[in-house]
A and B are shown apart, each in its own frame.
Chain A
Amino acid sequence: MESEQRGMVVVIDFLDNVATAVEDLKAGEEIRVCIAGRDTLLRIAQDVPFGHKVAIAPIPKGREVIKYGEPIGTSVTDIKLGEHVHVHNMVSNRGRGDLQMGVQEEQL
């Protein structure tokens, strides 16, 4: 797990398709992000508050959202590069009694 802790956003793992804002990000601004070891210029598509996630790769509907190198849920809309990723466009895969989902068995 690599942590890039300087700058406007933090990318935790090279597999991640989201980064975490450590400043309030404004729509239209361009920020420098280290994605998979490469310095990349990312255009912020929507305001992203401090602590919230921003897409650093396009995430089509139904695809896993990856942070810490692990799935943290599934997108429910097509999410474009630089868009805010939160409860409005992704859902948890776990503990969803409201969907009558069975308990998922994790493989070791």
Chain B
Amino acid sequence: MLVLTRKLQEAIKIGEDIELTVLSIDGDQVKLGISAPKYIEIHRKEVFLSIQQENNQAASISLNTFQALKKIKNT
């Protein structure tokens, strides 16, 4: 991993199009500004991980469940 030290208001550039700026530091909270092209998806990592985890759990379904669901009539 590349490690860079930055001060308040300093930035780093990733490739041509992406720029990260340290906007504020307050104790253990760092506020980052990110400018990137619209097609780049930016998510908090824990949100992405929770979706992954939920998908994994959602995929573990049994034939029994399938049959139980089939019995439920349209609402």
> Do A and B share a complex?
no
List B residues at the A interface (Cβ < 8 Å): none
